């Protein structure tokens, strides 16, 4: 396999979530984090899971990533049962979770350990290519502690992308960043998605962010976590978080979310 194959050949996967229920057992009481949730995410589709905290968004993301198992129901990627984590599904969290004892390049190389068919030289080539994509070439040999929050999330993105996954699972990846840094990352993420399309599941509680990035936005309500509404976002790309159309649609979605929460006495 050549670097070119490595960089361009992952077809995005179709995801299915079929009647999934997840209960966390507690000492005093059980929490039904997800109740009978079903959805399909198309190949290369960017779906945002939106809702207030505690409605099961992270739980669903972790199930898709294979980090947790459902109590009932099934999840599949390209028709194959998701039974554990795999390199076909990259993950990125709010906390960057980089290894502080490794430099920037070594962090990106880490994800490539899962690809035994690549030579060391090829791995380095792939890492270099992804650091370029996220704009961190000048920092390839920097230590993690030398980076700003935004740069750390860029490294985390490069690390998630480097093994060329079919699916990218992102859990509030930009929530801890300042607004300006976040806006730059929205631009970059849209650019990356245009160039090397992934199936993306993106968790957020930020309505505008969901409208800016998503092809589709799913609204969750809590106790128990369920999907209650869905919005297809057909606005032209690239989108800017400050676009009037983005703001207007975000207002519509916020109104609907508030209505649903009120109807459920949340």
> Does the protein bind ligand ADP through residue 24 (CB under 6 A)?
yes
Give the other-Cβ count within 10 Å of 153's Cβ: 25
Stretch that binds ligand ADP, among 6-14, 35-43, 46-54, 157-165 (CB under 6 A): 46-54
- Tell me the C-alpha to C-alpha distance, in Å, between residue 87 and each of 12, 46, 100, 147: 13, 19, 22, 26
The span of 55-63, 76-84, 153-161, 188-196 binding Mg ion (CB under 5 A) equals 55-63
Cα–Cα distance, 208 to 19 (Å, whole number): 29
62 binds Mg ion (CB under 5 A): no
Nearest alpha carbon to residue 168 among 203, 201, 135, 195: 201
Q: Minimum Å distance from CB 55 to ligand ADP?
A: 4
Q: Which is nearer to ligand ADP, 177 or 203 (CB)?
A: 203
> Residue written as tokens 């962090």?
107
* 58 near ligand ADP, judged by CB under 6 A: yes
Q: Of residues 152-211, which lie at the interface with ligand ADP (CB under 6 A)?
A: none
CB 171, min distance to ligand ADP, A: 7
CA 260, 262, 263, 266 dihedral sign is positive
Q: Which of 29, 53, 119, 265 binds ligand ADP (CB under 6 A)?
A: 53
What is the torsional sign of CA 109, 59, 10, 132? negative
In angstroms, rounded to a whole number, what is the distance separating the alpha carbons of residues 220 and 167? 21
For residue 233, what are its two tokens? 């976002």
Which residue, 184 or 206, is less far from Mg ion as judged by CB? 206
Helix 120-133 × helix 104-112 angle, to 10°: 120
Does 59 participate in binding Mg ion (rule CB under 5 A)? no
- The whole-angstrom separation of Cα 191 and Cα 245 is 20
Interface with ligand ADP, residue 57, by CB under 6 A: yes
**Contact between 33 and ligand ADP per CB under 6 A:** yes
55 belongs to the binding site for ligand ADP (CB under 6 A): yes
Work out what residue 59 binds among Mg ion, ligand ADP, none; the CB cut-off runs from 5 to 8 Å by kind: ligand ADP
Determine if 58 is a binding residue for Mg ion (CB under 5 A). Answer: yes
Does the bond joining 240 to the residue before it have cis omega, within 30 degrees of 0?
no
Are 162 and 107 in contact by the 8 Å Cβ rule? The answer is no
Which of residues 7, 21, 44, 54 is near ligand ADP by CB under 6 A? Answer: 54
Instruction: Say whether residue 225 binds ligand ADP (CB under 6 A).
Output: yes
Q: What's the min distance (Å) between Cβ of 233 and ligand ADP?
A: 20
Site residues, ligand ADP (CB under 6 A): 24, 31, 33, 51, 53-59, 225
């Amino acid at each position: 396999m050549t670097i070119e194959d490595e960089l361009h050949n992952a077809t995005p996967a179709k995801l299915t979530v079929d009647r999934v229920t997840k209960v966390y057992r507690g000492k005093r009481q059980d929490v039904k984090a997800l109740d009978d949730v079903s959805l399909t995410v198309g190949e290369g589709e960017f779906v945002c899971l939106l809702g207030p905290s505690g409605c099961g968004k992270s739980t669903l993301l972790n199930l898709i990533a294979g980090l947790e198992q459902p109590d009932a129901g099934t999840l599949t990627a390209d028709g194959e049962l998701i039974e554990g984590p795999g390199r076909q599904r990259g993950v990125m969290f709010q906390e960057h979770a980089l290894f502080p004892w490794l430099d920037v390049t070594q962090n990106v190389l880490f994800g490539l350990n899962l690809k035994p068919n690549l030579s060391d030289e090829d791995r380095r080539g792939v890492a270099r290519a992804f650091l370029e994509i996220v704009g961190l070439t000048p920092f390839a040999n920097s230590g993690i502690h030398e980076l700003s929050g935004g740069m750390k999330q860029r490294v985390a993105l490069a690390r998630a992308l480097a093994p060329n996954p079919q699916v990218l699972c992102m859990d509030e990846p930009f929530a801890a960043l300042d607004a300006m840094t976040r806006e730059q990352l929205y631009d970059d993420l849209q650019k990356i998605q245009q160039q090397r399309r992934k199936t993306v599941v993106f968790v957020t509680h930020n309505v505008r962010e969901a409208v800016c990035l998503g092809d589709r936005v799913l609204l969750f309500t809590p106790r128990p976590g369920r999907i209650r509404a869905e919005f297809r976002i057909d606005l032209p790309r690239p989108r800017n978080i400050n676009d009037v159309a983005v703001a207007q649609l975000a207002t519509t979605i916020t109104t609907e979310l508030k209505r649903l929460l009120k109807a459920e006495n949340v």
